[in-house]
Structure 1
Amino acid sequence: MDCSGCALKVEGAVEQINGAEDIQVNYKTQTLEFRLNEATTPRSAVEEKISGLGYGVAALA
């Protein structure tokens, strides 16, 4: 993410995913934090959505 517009783009995409809550995007640290009900939507679906926007995905410990 290069700017706040990028962060809003990612946030908007994740907001559309069923089971995603408490979404927080920070473009300065290039991080996305959220809770996901994986019974509703698998993590892989979120990763595909973000990758489809042109951004990389890596889990943080």
Structure 2
Amino acid sequence: MTNPESTTSGTQVDLRYLVHGMDCTSCALKIEDAVEQLGGAEDIQVNYKTQVLELRLDEATTPRSAVEEKIQGLGYRVAPLG
């Protein structure tokens, strides 16, 4: 069985999330800025049209649950894609 999150090196993983509630580029930028503030998050891309967040995360620095909580704290619903 293939893991939908590909490990890139060590504790870095590529993650994809469906983020419900984005309706404009400002929403996407708000999420991108919030996730960027978390340590270990790189290559952050948010597309409000597809409602998808993609990023590379170093889980030794920041667990994925912290990313999910950060997004939920902004008022959006988030679910892993895979």
TM-score (norm 1): 0.98
Residues matched between the structures, number: 61
In the alignment, what sits opposite 2:32? Answer: 11
Q: RCO (CA 8 Å, sep 6+): is it higher in 1 or 2? A: 2
Cα deviation for residue 20 of structure 1 reads 0.2
* Larger helix percent: 1
Q: Which runs of 5+ in 2 are unaligned?
A: 1-21
RMSD, aligned α-carbons? 0.4
User: How many angstroms does 1:6 deviate by?
Assistant: 0.3
Ranges of 4+ aligned residues in structure 1 off by more than 2 Å = none
Offset of 1:47 from its aligned partner?
0.5
Distance, in Å, in 2 between the alignment partners of 1:58 and 1:9 is: 18
User: Is residue 33 of structure 2 the alignment partner of residue 21 of structure 1?
Assistant: no
* TM-score, normalised by the number of residues in structure 2: 0.73
State the partner residue of 2:73. 52
Distance 2:26 2:64 in 1: 24
Which residue, out of 34, 38, 41, partners 2:59? 38
